[in-house]
Structure 1
Amino acid sequence: MHLAAFLNAGPQGTVGWRHPDAGDGFLTAAHYTRIARVLEGAGFDLAFVPDSLAVPRGLKDSFDPAVTWGTGTPRLDPIPVITLMAAATEHLGVAATVSTGYQEPFHVARSMATLDHLVGGRAGWNVVTSFQDAEAQNFGQDKLPARAARYARAEEFLEVTAQLWDSWADDAIVADKESGVFGRPDRVRAVDHRGERFAVRGPLSVPRPPQGYPVIIQAGASPAGRDFAARWADVVFCSHESLESAVAFYADVKARAAAHGRDPEQLKVLPAATTVVGTDLKDALAKHAEFTGLVHPEAGLSRLAYHVNVDLTRYDLDGPLPSLAEVGVEGHYREVVEFAEREKLSVREIGRWYGARTEGDMIGSASDIADTMEQWLDAGAADGFMIQATHVPAAFEEFAEQVVPELRRRGLVRTAHTGGTLRDNLGLARPGRDEWRRRARSAEGGRP
């Protein structure tokens, strides 16, 4: 199985920073380099840092709850953070979120190509379309565009970005000191793209990345998001409240990839897994109960409102969660609905649960957690897992010291990195030049 780690460039979760064993150095380089070395030593393929472009205003259009409880803020720029992490390691892949909603293709293509060169082919890009009105309001808009418009922009954004990466052939640089010839103009080309949203002449000012394209990660759970991932993504990060929903999602995105002419094995599905490791199940449940006890109800509601982009205080907090037509992160919303209906929770109770939500039912001894992971693999629900720590760096260290040896004993994870790039370690082929054309053709007539 593949192992990736999910960590914020800031406080970990709504209450993770309150944990007695949580580090308080999220504004220091040492905090992130320490985590990177732990992950690399445990054989992780990837460290993934999410991002958002606003301080959340999810409750009553105020940022007070976000600041009070540490919900989605602060957020450091993830690109310098993952660059530090890569510099501290030799094999660990690093990825960051960059939104297609508030960037330009040339900027992202240049930044990601540069990073991929500097870290030796270990870079990844988590493509998002943004999910909060608060983000839109930092960029001259009153409200986030509708999902269909956001994904239409993302489609064209990826087409242009990939064309820019492909504007240099792999053999364009000669660097012949004797003749004085640096490069071959016939192996570099303009892009000359004029579309509905972007006009880019090109070529890119950075040669083609070592991986061809940096590894593309996507986490959309809506039908539009799944189809986008099936065309463009190498890794799908998802979140599920049950094994059954995970199996259904896995089958769906793999089938969509095949329908777009891709080998489904070239799309890796990594569900979120929040692990709580104890000496046995009783000990782990006690640890989780202590963690849950740190949650203030408003903190949990603030976190949920941040993810679904809906002010939940407009509803009866002691009543059931209403049906919401348009939400920010649809995957999280579906999980909440599934859990709330099963447990018959009010909105207030959902907030308390969501503040300390653990995903994937990964609570127990190292053996218990390995059993659950193996069950998900065997059931066709995952190609690996995106490990989410309740608190950092200690929870990652516990996983590395206790769960990874058990997974290695079972032959489920590597004992050493063998590939030179992140694509190599994930078992992903390097895209040939002009791969973007095939993926763009598969989208024709099918864009949301």
Structure 2
Amino acid sequence: MSSRRKLRLGLAAYGTGWDLDAWRLPEATNAGLRDPSVILDIARTAERGKLDYVFAGSALGSEPERLNRIFRWDNFVYAGHAAALTKNLGFVMSVNSSFEHPYGVARQLATLDNFNQGRTALNVVFGIDRDGDPVGNFGRNPVPTEETKYARAREFTEVVNRLLYDSWDNDLLLDDRTGGTLVKPDSWHQIDHHGDHFEVRGPLNVSPPVQSHIPIVQVGLSEESLRYGADFAQVRFSPYFGISRGKEEYRRLKERVAANGRDPEKFKIIPGITFYLGGTAREARAKFNEINALQLTQALPAAFTQAFGIDLSRVRDSERVLDVVDIDTLADDALKPLLSDRARDTKDDRELLRQILATQIGEDATLRELYHYVQRARHAQQPAVVGDAKTIADWLEENLEEEVLDGVQLFPPYHRGPADLFVDLVVPELQRRDIFRTEYEASTLQGLLDTDDTY
């Protein structure tokens, strides 16, 4: 039995992929905004690669001007359909506790977990995301303030858990045909919840879930959000902070969980990446730069002048970075005006710039290509990992071994193609390194993720 830690891998299912420009590629399929088969194929691909789950993020606002949020399929309906096409793959359901009611959500979760035989997880989002005016879509339904949304989220989760696990005994079905008793007497229990945000009598009118505990996924960076995760969650969808800071954040999160009397090894930390994969590293960089070139930008920002200490208004953006910028003379924090602290994983930005050129966009990259890389890193809010199967497997293995992460949420930049490439090229490489499964080893998502079942 191998003692090597194993990666947990999930695949994001969005109609046009995650990249805001890659949809313009001639090979991209954009029918996913109207054709459900596109993201149903994502589920089939994920199961073919023995991945843990798919995640189809939800949205409640109406934002027709934002490409990545113009349409969002209802993730419960999607998961219900996709589960019928798969046997082992898990599905992470996203709900917003600031808008939704625990009784209705508990009904959906219990129903789905029974129908897919234990392959459900719950991502509780409690941001009030004013973009797209979701409040306007929900009319008079009470919406918490920024100050009260955390308390509502905690109460929401407590009620959902009580409805799921305290409503019914597992041996509820007596099926006494002779005596005329179908359901065992006293096998159901009212929860009689009276809180600041919800009044729920119970019991839930759906059979208990198959899983002893449906995994809860937490996101967010605030202190209240992190406290919620340590108290309730089994998985954290974390930002990626790089190796050095990532190790520190990983350790802190595990310590939070341990301080609550829980097993930190059962709490999984999973950041997201957008991957740009090719048969060779050169092919991958060429595709990444082709996508970058689709950004509708005209001029280099003043931030570049500040970062490099050069008047770039007098320099053509087609010039090679290495012909214009003397990396050895840059300040330690030179890239601070360009990249967020999360993307700057070193106190020496000279090394970071060399790394970007060597592994991401190529040492012949132009100023324009570097600018596009920076813009993409900002709007994607996660790293772009560019390369062939070995490069991407190296990145995953290093971050796993350095204890930066327990797994990765994979965001294909466009459809169709990248998800299949990952399964066909990267998964076999990970399996050869003995850091990813060759067969599904559990029948439930709780088992696949190896999460804690306490709450």
Same fold, TM-score > 0.5, yes or no: yes
- Pairing 1:147-162 to 2, within 5 Å after superposition: 147-162=146-161
Distance in 2 of aligned mates of 1:34 and 1:296: 30
Distance in 2 of aligned mates of 1:172 and 1:417: 31
Residues 1:47 and 1:352: Cα distance change in structure 2 (over 3 Å): same
Q: Does 1:43 align with 2:62?
A: no
Residues 1:356 and 1:149: Cα distance change in structure 2 (over 3 Å): closer
Q: Does 1:102 align with 2:99?
A: yes
C-alpha distance after superposition, 1:287-330 (max 9, x if no partner): 111111222359xxxxxxxxxxxxxxxxxx8569xxxxxxxxxx
CA contact (8 A) 1:86 1:119 kept: yes
Which position in structure 2 is the counterpart of 1:191?
Answer: 191
SS in 1 for 2:447: helix
* Aligned AA (2:111): T
* Aligned AA (1:24): N
Q: Using the aligned pairs only, state the percent identity.
A: 30
Residues 1:75 and 1:361: Cα distance change in structure 2 (over 3 Å): closer
CA contact (8 A) 1:291 1:356 kept: no
- Pairing 1:146-295 to 2, within 5 Å after superposition: 146-166=145-165, 167-295=167-295
C-alpha distance after superposition, 1:220-258 (max 9, x if no partner): 222211111111112111122422232222112111111
* Aligned AA (1:29): P
Residues 1:419 and 1:350: Cα distance change in structure 2 (over 3 Å): closer
**More displaced, 122-131 or 35-44?**
122-131
Task: Give the counterpart of 1:124 among 121, 124, 140.
Answer: 121
CA contact (8 A) 1:237 1:269 kept: yes
Residues 1:245 and 1:7: Cα distance change in structure 2 (over 3 Å): farther
Which position in structure 2 is the counterpart of 1:18?
Answer: 24
Distance in 2 of aligned mates of 1:41 and 1:142: 42
SS in 2 for 1:125: strand
C-alpha distance after superposition, 1:164-203 (max 9, x if no partner): 1121121122233343322123221000010111111100
Residues 1:54 and 1:369: Cα distance change in structure 2 (over 3 Å): same
**Aligned-pair CA distance for 1:47:** 0.4
**Aligned-pair CA distance for 1:11:** 5.4
Residues 1:4 and 1:335: Cα distance change in structure 2 (over 3 Å): farther
Which position in structure 2 is the counterpart of 1:395?
Answer: 418
* Aligned AA (1:149): T
Mark the structure with the bigger radius of gyration: 2
C-alpha distance after superposition, 1:317-356 (max 9, x if no partner): 8569xxxxxxxxxxxxx973544896999xx979833477
Distance in 2 of aligned mates of 1:10 and 1:287: 17
Which position in structure 1 is the counterpart of 2:427?
Answer: 404
Residues 1:142 and 1:420: Cα distance change in structure 2 (over 3 Å): closer
Residues 1:180 and 1:25: Cα distance change in structure 2 (over 3 Å): farther
Which position in structure 2 is the counterpart of 1:329?
Answer: none
CA contact (8 A) 1:275 1:387 kept: yes
Distance in 2 of aligned mates of 1:117 and 1:264: 28
CA contact (8 A) 2:386 2:392 kept: yes
CA contact (8 A) 1:101 1:150 kept: yes
Unaligned runs of 5+ in 2: 1-6, 305-337, 354-366
- Pairing 1:300-315 to 2, within 5 Å after superposition: none
Which position in structure 1 is the counterpart of 2:340?
Answer: 336
**Aligned-pair CA distance for 1:414:** 0.6
Task: Give the count of matched residue pairs.
Answer: 389
- Pairing 1:349-428 to 2, within 5 Å after superposition: 352-354=375-377, 357=380, 359-428=382-451
Residues 1:279 and 1:268: Cα distance change in structure 2 (over 3 Å): same
- TM-score, length-scaled by structure 2: 0.78
Residues 1:175 and 1:12: Cα distance change in structure 2 (over 3 Å): farther
Distance in 1 of aligned mates of 2:339 and 2:79: 29
**More displaced, 10-19 or 409-418?**
10-19
Distance in 2 of aligned mates of 1:40 and 1:155: 33
RMSD: 2.9
**More displaced, 99-108 or 250-259?**
250-259
C-alpha distance after superposition, 1:69-114 (max 9, x if no partner): x142111211111212111100000112110011111000011110
CA contact (8 A) 1:9 1:81 kept: no
**Aligned-pair CA distance for 1:361:** 5.0
SS in 2 for 1:295: coil
Which position in structure 2 is the counterpart of 1:328?
Answer: none
Task: Give the counterpart of 1:8 among 7, 10, 14.
Answer: 14
Residues 1:335 and 1:112: Cα distance change in structure 2 (over 3 Å): farther
Residues 1:222 and 1:114: Cα distance change in structure 2 (over 3 Å): same
Distance in 1 of aligned mates of 2:372 and 2:276: 22
**Aligned-pair CA distance for 1:371:** 0.9
* Aligned AA (1:162): N
**Aligned-pair CA distance for 1:135:** 2.2
* Aligned AA (2:419): F
Which position in structure 2 is the counterpart of 1:30?
Answer: 37
SS in 2 for 1:188: coil
**Aligned-pair CA distance for 1:127:** 0.6
* Aligned AA (1:21): E
* Aligned AA (1:243): I
Distance in 2 of aligned mates of 1:143 and 1:106: 16
CA contact (8 A) 1:124 1:217 kept: yes
**Aligned-pair CA distance for 1:217:** 1.2
Residues 1:107 and 1:297: Cα distance change in structure 2 (over 3 Å): farther
Unaligned runs of 5+ in 1: 57-62, 299-316, 321-333, 440-448
C-alpha distance after superposition, 1:361-413 (max 9, x if no partner): 52111111111111101111111111111112311001001000100111111
SS in 2 for 1:269: strand
* Aligned AA (1:284): A
Which position in structure 2 is the counterpart of 1:139?
Answer: 138
**Aligned-pair CA distance for 1:144:** 7.7
